[in-house]
Amino acid sequence: MTLIERNDGFDYDLRMLCSCGLPSPVSAADYVDGAHGSHMPCVHCGESLHYGPAVAALRDPDDPALDDSALNTLAWYHTSTQPDWPSPNFSADFVAGLDERDVLMPSREAFIAEHTSKALHVGTYEAAIENMLRRMNDELDSHAQFYLYRVKLDLDPRKINPGFRDENHEIASDISTLELEKDELDAVRYLNVHEAIGTLSLAIPPQAIRAVQRIHLPVPDLTMPADANDDLFIRGVVDAARRVSDAASELRVTPGERRRMELGILPDPTGAAKRHHELRHSSYEAVRRLERHLEDQYLPHASAVLRRVFTQAAAHWQEDCIDEYVWRYRALAALVEMPAHVRANVGAAAWRQVAAI
C-alpha cells in the first residue's frame, strides 16, 4: 500500500486570525514569549490582534487534507500507549477494568457509553509526535511505552464534513462515534489549536481504519549522536545537587523547619538556611543550563513551541538519573530531527488489518 507522506517539519511558525477575517503570521518564538503582551498589528487591516489558541488559523491554506478525495491516499499517524490500537477489545477491557463500587447505578451505563464511544484521532506525523510529548507531561504517561502508528484510511469521500471544524468552538476530543453516525459522517476534519497548532486532524470511528503499521517509540538504535560538551553540563547538575544535599545535612533540621527558617518564621543565626536556599537556586540554574544546551544541540530544527513542549515532557526523567535523562532526550530528539528515518522505519513494518470492530 503506497501512501503519500506530508512533511510539515517541526520548525514551524503560526498564523493568527484577526477579527477582519484574515490571518497574520506570528513567529513561534514570539508566540511562546507572548511578545508585546501577545499583541501584534494585523497585516491586513492594522488592528491590534491578541494572539493565542483562541484565534489560531490554518497554517497552510493549501493543506492537502482539505481535499476529501485525497484523504485515503495520505499516510496518517497516531501515537498511543496501547500496543494494539485500535484494540478490538477496548470496550470489553474498559468494562472489565471498572470497579463496581466506583460507578454507581444507574449512571454506569452512561459512563461506559461515554468512554467507549469516543472517536479515534489521526493527524500528521508531527501532530502525533507532539501529542505524545504532551501526554508525557501527564504523570501517568511520563514513563509509559509509546507506539507510533501509521494509518491507512478507508473513508467515503462524500461523508466528510465540509471545510473543517474549529477546535475553539467545538472540542474535537469529545467527538463520539455516535455523533459521527448520527451525522452520517465517516470523519470530522478539525483544526488543531492546542497541539500541532494550525494543522488538520481527523476524528474517525474505528471502522474507518483499514490497516496500521506500528513501531516502538523512541525508535531502538535511532538516537542523536552525543555532543562532547554533554558531560560538562551533566557534571554541573550533579555537582550542584551534591552541594545542596551537603548543605541540607549540615543544617541538621527537618525540611519543614528549614522552610520556616528560610521564611524568617524560625531564627537562622548562622545563615545556613539562606545558603541552602541559594544553593538550591544554583542547582535549578544548572538544570536550566543543561536544558538549554540540549535544546541547542539536539533540537536545532524545532520551533520554540515544540522545544517548550519537548523540554517539559523530557524533564520527568530528570529525577531518575541525569545520564539516563540525557540519553532519553537524545533518543526522543531523533523523532524530531530525523523524521525520514522514523517514517522509513514505521513504513517498513508489517501491516495489521483492522477488522470491523
Task: Give me the amino acid identity at 173.
Answer: S
Contact between 45 and Zn ion (CB under 5 A)?
A: yes
Task: Indicate the residue among 20 and 110 with the shorter CB distance to Zn ion.
Answer: 20
Give the shortest CB-19-to-Zn ion separation in angstroms.
Answer: 6
Contact between 18 and Zn ion (CB under 5 A)?
A: yes
Using CB under 5 A, which residues numbered 250 to 269 contact Zn ion? none
Helix (H, G, I), strand (E, B) or coil at 268: coil
List Cβ neighbours of 244 (8 Å cut-off, separation of 6 or more): 276, 279, 280, 283
Span between the terminal Cα atoms of the chain, in Å: 22
- Stretch touching Zn ion by CB under 5 A, among 40-48, 125-133, 278-286, 331-339: 40-48
CA distance 157 to 185: 10
User: Phi/psi at 306 (nearest 5 deg)?
Assistant: -65, -40
Contact between 1 and Zn ion (CB under 5 A)?
A: no
Give the shortest CB-55-to-Zn ion separation in angstroms.
Answer: 11
- Stretch touching Zn ion by CB under 5 A, among 37-45, 82-90, 238-246, 340-348: 37-45
Radius of gyration over every alpha carbon of the chain, rounded to an integer in angstroms: 24
Residue 136 C-alpha cell reads as: 508525557
By the 8 A CB rule, do 151 and 347 touch? no
Give the shortest CB-15-to-Zn ion separation in angstroms.
Answer: 12
Task: Indicate the residue among 44 and 352 with the shorter CB distance to Zn ion.
Answer: 44
Give the shortest CB-233-to-Zn ion separation in angstroms.
Answer: 44
Contact between 43 and Zn ion (CB under 5 A)?
A: no
Task: Indicate the residue among 45 and 263 with the shorter CB distance to Zn ion.
Answer: 45
Contact flags string 66-105 toward Zn ion, x per CB under 5 A: ----------------------------------------
Contact between 42 and Zn ion (CB under 5 A)?
A: yes
Contact between 20 and Zn ion (CB under 5 A)?
A: yes
- Stretch touching Zn ion by CB under 5 A, among 38-46, 173-181, 227-235, 245-253: 38-46
- Stretch touching Zn ion by CB under 5 A, among 15-23, 101-109, 176-184, 292-300: 15-23
Inter-helix orientation angle 322-337/272-298, to 10°: 30
Strand order in the sheet with 209-217: 76-80, 146-153, 209-217, 352-353
Contact between 44 and Zn ion (CB under 5 A)?
A: yes
Please spell the DSSP secondary structure of 233-246, one letter per residue.
Answer: HHHHHHHHHHHHHH
CA distances from 321 to 15, 151, 238, 241, 254 (A): 39, 35, 10, 12, 25
CA distance 162 to 164: 6
Binding residues (CB under 5 A) for Zn ion: these are: 18, 20, 42, 44-45
